[in-house]
Amino acid sequence: MEDLWTSFVKEFERKTPVSAKLFNRASHVLPGGNTRVTVFFKPYPIYAKRAQGSLITDVDGNERIDLINNFGPLILGHNHPRVVAAVKAQLENGEAFGSPTELEIKLAETICASSKCVERVVFCASGSEATLKAIRAARAFTGKKKVAKFEGVYNGSNDFVEVSVKPPAASLGSPESPNRVPDSVGIPDGVLDDILVLPWNDPVNAVKLINENKSELAAVIANPVGRINPPRNGFLEALRETTEKTGVLLVFDEVITGFRLARGGAQEYYGIKPDIAAYGKILGGGYPCGAMGASKEIMSMFDPTSSGQSPIPNPGTYNGHPVTLAAGLATLQELTDDVYSRLNSSGEYLRKKVQSIMNDFEIEGITSGVGSYNALVYFGINDDRSYRETCKSDKYLESVFSLGCINRGIFFLPGYCILSASLTQAEVNKTLDAMSEVLQLIASSEPKPAQPARIKQERKRSSAS
């Protein structure tokens, strides 16, 4: 009998012939037909035509509920009328200038007012540049050169953090001293020498490694929710305490969590004040954006009026781009407490319901996420503590689940289910119906997904009582 993946691929191919043709054409001019690896999936990506609110339509005319939202920026959904109006109004005045605009002051004021740690900001054009600048600032401020990052976590596309992002399980090394695994060829040994890899949600080993390296360590950079492994039992507190004691700067990579978990990002959500925060995504309201900020003292490293040591330059052509700033300001103005409460409860509701469907079908796995930011499902494991656990999830089932849902009008990719405030309860219900149908097919497919020990125990207990 045909396996589920093969039958889902056939169904996908029937529904997306124009995307298939475009992918084939792309392969003649883009490496492997691709220019953004995040959007690639097998057998080939869906080419987008247009989107509105929570719905996205592909070039074949298939409409789907969008649970990706361009990997995070579109917290209000597509083409929110206020954002579109702000962009149009800016375009009436011109798209970009070789001069600053008042917009950059307004957006910087908004960041300073919402963040626990930011008193001064610099803008750049992507989250990757923001983490790069955060690292440069930490090195310049402390006069130290090493940077610690967490195993299994993506902090952007630059050499200093493209280490141990998705290391194969066999390459991890011990949790006492995780290996530094370059993400690709081309990362020089000289860069690796200055990187320390820490285990996530493992306070004993992370604290020990920070202490052992404190004299050389400029910063620890952390995505406060791991990838996605919600912080446990005081892990962020332990990081804050140790970095503070050892004179190491704590950088929160808030590129995805900033303005998503709360107005004040993960800093507010978890009540931790880092030294530096890096932003992107939502801050630009759907347009290319990055920013990093910190205290006045740290940010003085960028001050071009300073008469001290040569400041860090921040010269990007697209820094503080007026269209981005206008879209970002319009987006942030819409993010009220009520919007956050709805977004966070939709995420929790979705995870709870999907978990209960999986339990009913006796599929081993767990749902994972924080607020509206979800990995959604890790198959075949029962612990999302860290990358060491979640890298063992069944990648085949993750792909089957995603493709099955894509065929049924629900768009998310393995590991990425990022909600927007435009999602209605009716759309959540439709999503759950499609997910339930696919999970039922998974449960009845061969070979059967293993039954989790936890569910077996629960069943034993309930049948005994």
151 touches ligand PLP by CB under 6 A: no
Do β-strands 146-150 and 120-124 pair in parallel, antiparallel, or remain unpaired?
unpaired
Taking every pair of C-alpha atoms in the chain, what is the biggest distance, in angstroms?
77
159 included as an active-site residue: no
223 touches ligand PLP by CB under 6 A: yes
318 included as an active-site residue: no
Rounded CA-CA distance 207/224 in Å is 16
Whose tokens are 């009582």? That residue is: 465
Shortest Cβ 255–ligand PLP spacing (Å): 4
Rounded CA-CA distance 135/158 in Å is 11
Rounded CA-CA distance 327/281 in Å is 11
Query: Considering only residues 115, 128, 324, 407, which one is a binding residue for ligand PLP as defined by CB under 6 A?
Result: 128
Q: Which is nearer to ligand PLP, 7 or 157 (CB)?
A: 157
47 included as an active-site residue: no
Sole window of 106-114, 140-148, 152-160, 201-209 interacting with ligand PLP (rule: CB under 6 A):
152-160
Query: Considering only residues 77, 156, 347, 404, which one is a binding residue for ligand PLP as defined by CB under 6 A?
Result: 156
Query: Considering only residues 58, 151, 162, 253, which one is a binding residue for ligand PLP as defined by CB under 6 A?
Result: 253
154 touches ligand PLP by CB under 6 A: yes
292 touches ligand PLP by CB under 6 A: no
**Active-site residue identified among 154, 287, 373, 378:** 154
Count of all residues that appear for the chain in the document: 465
- Categorise residue 247: left if φ over 0, alpha if ψ from -120 to 50, beta otherwise: left
Rounded CA-CA distance 240/220 in Å is 10
Rounded CA-CA distance 385/155 in Å is 19
3-state secondary structure of 195: strand
Residues binding ligand PLP: number (CB under 6 A): 15
69 touches ligand PLP by CB under 6 A: no
Sole window of 112-120, 155-163, 196-204, 437-445 interacting with ligand PLP (rule: CB under 6 A):
155-163
What is 63-78 written as a DSSP string?
A: EEEESSTTTTT-TT-B
Cβ proximity of 421 and 343 under 8 Å: yes
164 touches ligand PLP by CB under 6 A: no
Subset of 375-394 contacting ligand PLP (CB under 6 A): none
220 touches ligand PLP by CB under 6 A: no
Measured in degrees and rounded to the nearest 5, phi and psi for residue 78 equal -85, 140
* Residue number closest to ligand PLP, CB atom: 127
Cβ proximity of 433 and 405 under 8 Å: no
Sole window of 8-16, 58-66, 233-241, 250-258 interacting with ligand PLP (rule: CB under 6 A):
250-258
Residues with catalytic roles: 154, 253, 281
Q: Which residues of the chain form contacts with ligand PLP (CB under 6 A)? A: 71, 126-128, 131, 154-157, 223, 253, 255-256, 280, 290
